[in-house]
Amino acid sequence: MGIRGRNVRRICQRYGDKLRYATLYDSSRRIALYSAYSFKKSDGQRRMDTPWMYEPQLVTADENGNMRVLPSSGEIDPLIEESQALLADYIDAVEYERGQLNPDQHQADNQDKASTYTLTNVVPLITDLLEGPWGAYTDMLRRRLNNFCHGVAYVVTGVTVSGLTIQREKEDRIAVPKHLWSAYCCPRFDNNSPYDVRYMFPTYAAYASNAIGYSVTEVPLKTLEALLKNQTDVDKSASIFFKHCVS
């Protein structure tokens, strides 16, 4: 479904006065369209003590501001509620969980992990997908890049948007993704890796339908581009990543 004319903005996600990763965010539909990040070799442990944060860059003109801890529900500035998703939006969304596009399991440093807990890095995913096939794929990709990528690996994970929304008090609050997709680029990889892994370097991709009963399909980048090419200009802007990886 098209999103032309929507309020879409690129965010440099900052935490602890340091740029951590980049996100393309649709404020009118309160959903992250994709997050692009550097993968860090990780043991896959999640950081359990991090409060959820919001993005002040969507509220003010300050593009160098750090993400901040969400205030309690009674103290939230209306400008925050207007510009991005809140924890309250997920309370009655019983079919969905908050799915990180840049998952903390793909980061090693505690501050990098903490920076993934912002609602501008989150999309509503069907619980069965997030806890099942997509969770398994995320961990498998972590192990693949840990074992066979010798340099920096770059990952971009995003969504295509359906016509469904999550409502709160009869107000449309968050767009529901139709597809979840991801692509990675590892310029320096192990040329002696097993064949069933080697052909997936330097780049490969994956996608899944955000629905019950669907698995994750791994595909070449061109196949993913074909899936996205009829989407909106926003989705096509992710192709810059693809062209960079294969050039």
* Phi and psi, residue 129, nearest 5°: -75, -50
| Stated pTM of the model | 0.91
Q: Hey, is 45 helix, strand or coil?
A: coil
* Superfamily of domain covering 8-245: Extracellular Endonuclease, subunit A (3.40.570.10)
Q: What is the DSSP letter of 196?
A: H
Distance CA 230, CA 149 (A): 32
Give the domain ranges of the chain.
8-245
**b/e string for 133-157 if b means 16 or more Cβ within 10 A?**
bbbebbeebbebbbebbeeebbbbb
Q: Where in the chain does DSSP place strands (E)? A: 8-15, 18-26, 31-39, 53-54, 68-69, 96-100, 122-126, 153-168, 171-185, 203-209, 217-219
pLDDT number for residue 74: 77
The pLDDT profile of the chain, 247 residues, written as one tens digit per residue, is 334 446 899 999 999 999 999 999 999 999 999 999 999 999 988 887 889 999 999 998 766 689 999 998 778 999 999 999 999 999 989 899 999 999 999 999 999 999 999 999 999 999 999 999 999 999 999 999 999 999 899 999 999 999 899 999 999 999 999 999 999 999 999 999 999 999 999 999 999 999 999 999 999 999 999 888 876 554 455 555 545 444 4
pLDDT number for residue 2: 38
Instruction: Give the pair of three-digit tokens for residue 11.
Output: 């965010």
**Which residue in 34, 29, 45 sits closest to 164, CA to CA?**
29
Distance CA 223, CA 48 (A): 36
Whether cis (ω within 30° of 0) applies to the bond prior to 194 is no
Close Cβ partners of 236 (under 8 Å, ≥ 6 residues apart):
228, 229
Instruction: Give the pair of three-digit tokens for residue 12.
Output: 């440099």
pLDDT number for residue 234: 47
Which pairing describes strands 31-39 and 18-26: parallel, antiparallel, or unpaired? antiparallel
